[in-house]
């Protein structure tokens, strides 16, 4: 009985802390790391590092989410020669054909909804990120 209570409290705490949400991968901009049709689990985060795969809201299309990799963090020099502000990140797709910071510039931390942690579908391609 105590074990069930501890598990329930722990699970509730984890859900409130990390606020997991699912993400469908659409398009090939993250190939080969992510394939179209895959489903991933993302968690909210307050810290982002270079190399993290993140979900973000497109800066020019509110409500439209993108999945990209963080390639520049605050203080880094961007490919176009700017230094990223304390609240700015540079994100890029893994493929050359990608709508990302190369098109719309740095994104604020507030645009980053979370980090992808796990691809869970299709089952034969499950893996941690």
- Residue 92 maps to a domain: yes
- Residue 90 maps to a domain: yes
pLDDT at 35: 93
Q: With 70 as the cut, is the pLDDT of residue 58 above it?
A: yes
pLDDT at 6: 52
Question: Cβ neighbours of residue 32 under 8 Å, at least 6 residues apart?
Answer: 94
pLDDT-based confidence at residue 66 (cuts at 50, 70, 90): very high
Show the domain range for 116.
20-128
- Residue 9 maps to a domain: no
To the nearest whole percent, how much of the chain has pLDDT over 90?
A: 59
What is this structure's pTM? 0.82
Q: With 90 as the cut, is the pLDDT of residue 22 above it?
A: no
pLDDT-based confidence at residue 95 (cuts at 50, 70, 90): confident
**CATH number of the domain encompassing residue 35:** 2.10.109.10
- Residue 6 maps to a domain: no
Q: Count structural domains, the chain.
A: 1
The region of weakest confidence among 3-7, 63-67, 88-92, 114-118 is 3-7
End-to-end CA distance of the chain: 35
Question: Where would I find the H helices in the chain?
Answer: 2-18, 101-104
In degrees and rounded to multiples of 5, residue 25 shows phi and psi of: -85, 120
Q: With 50 as the cut, is the pLDDT of residue 16 above it?
A: no
By CB neighbour count within 10 A (0-12 exposed, 13-18 middle, 19+ buried), where does 27 fall? middle
Average pLDDT for the chain: 87
CB contact at 8 A, 115 and 54? yes
pLDDT at 116: 95
């Amino acid at each position: 009985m105590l074990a069930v209570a501890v598990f329930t409290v722990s699970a509730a705490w984890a859900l409130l802390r990390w606020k997991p949400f699912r993400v469908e991968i659409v398009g090939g901009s993250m190939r080969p790391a992510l394939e179209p049709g895959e489903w991933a689990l993302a968690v909210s985060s307050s810290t982002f590092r270079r190399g993290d795969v993140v979900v973000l809201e497109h800066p020019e299309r509110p409500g439209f989410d993108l999945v990209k990799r963080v390639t520049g963090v605050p203080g880094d020099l961007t490919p176009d020669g700017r230094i990223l502000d304390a609240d700015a990140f540079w994100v890029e797709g893994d493929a050359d054909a990608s709508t990302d910071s190369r098109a719309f510039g740095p994104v604020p931390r507030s645009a980053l909804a979370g980090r992808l942690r796990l691809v869970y579908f299709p089952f034969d391609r499950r893996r941690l990120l």
